[in-house]
Amino acid sequence: MQKRLPFGLTRAPTTFAHITAEKLGDLLPKLSIELLVNDGGMAGDDFEGLLDRTRQFLTRIRESHLSLSVKKSEFFMTEIIFAGSLIGPDGVKPDATKITAVVDWRQPPDVLNLLRFLGLTGHFRDLVKGYAKIAQPLTDLVRGVNVPKNTGKTVYCAALQAVKLTNTWTKAHTKAFLALKTVLMSEPILKAPRFDGTPFIVTTDGCMNGFGGDANTEIHRDPTWWQNSSEITPNHICLQTNLCSRSTI
């Protein structure tokens, strides 16, 4: 009898997410729980209230005949790694271990390595203003790459690895590659909205298939001074929409 769901199986993550949603779905809005496949988190400003919600959550876990890993569980933390990001009082920041991997990444020799780099940096795209524009020279490199269809993962990866970038890599690609590293090293932060009268800067974009947007607000701290003595006021994304279909309007 299996006590754990092996994630190497096809559709295992989907099955796991379905079970947790079925057993815990009604508690998500009530207890302010965030679930992301096999990661779960709950936050609060009031200790007694958080303790009571934690008790309700653990009771439901027991009643549903589910279990939690003791080694992977942490309680009453000020900062914690959740869903690949560092969550704390200052907002959402990239996980330092992932940033180290990005910084140490060498120039991609082939399309497979480039896609892996873009996949890792793309995890933080919600924290980086203009991510798509910065990464465009790199994403253009993978457009039109012919790979065999309806094949296994091994054949697919081998085909991507066979496409070398030596003759197509230019200074523009190096600039974009280094720019992504630099912007992630600058510790971008996603903060919660502040409804204290601070004005919001709303940016939207759309096309025939849908639309999206984000709301930015200025953060109150000393302005940053660059080497040319120009003063800038930091802005941070505090709310971002997903791509919406026109039929959902």
Predicted pLDDT at 229: 34
Range of the domain at 240: 200-248
DSSP string, 163-201: SB-TTT--HHHHHHHHHHHHHHHT---B-----SSPPEE
Statement: residue 246 has pLDDT above 60: no
Domain membership flag for residue 166:
yes
pLDDT (mean) for 168-188: 87
How many whole angstroms separate alpha carbon 65 and alpha carbon 60?
A: 9
Same domain, 21 and 62: yes
How many whole angstroms separate alpha carbon 112 and alpha carbon 89?
A: 37
Same domain, 131 and 210: no
How many CB atoms neighbour CB 35 within 10 A?
17
Q: What are the respective helix, strand and coil percentages of the chain, to the nearest 5?
A: 40, 20, 40
pLDDT tens-place string over residues 74-132: 888 888 888 777 888 777 777 777 778 878 899 999 999 999 999 988 887 877 878 88
Confidence of residue 238 (pLDDT cuts 50, 70, 90): very low
Same domain, 67 and 108: no
Same domain, 108 and 65: no
pLDDT (mean) for 157-162: 90
Domain membership flag for residue 64:
yes
The dihedral region occupied by 15, where left means phi > 0, alpha psi between -120 and 50, and beta the remainder, is: alpha
Query: pTM for the full model?
Result: 0.57
| Contact residues for 231 (Cβ-Cβ < 8 A; gap 6+) | 223, 224, 225
Domain membership flag for residue 178:
yes
Same domain, 158 and 218: no
In DSSP terms, 203 is beta-bridged to 214
Q: Cα dist. 57→27, 148, 207 in Å?
A: 8, 47, 42
pLDDT tens-place string over residues 29-45: 887 787 777 778 888 87
Same domain, 109 and 57: no
Same domain, 38 and 108: no
Report the number of distinct structural domains present in the chain.
3
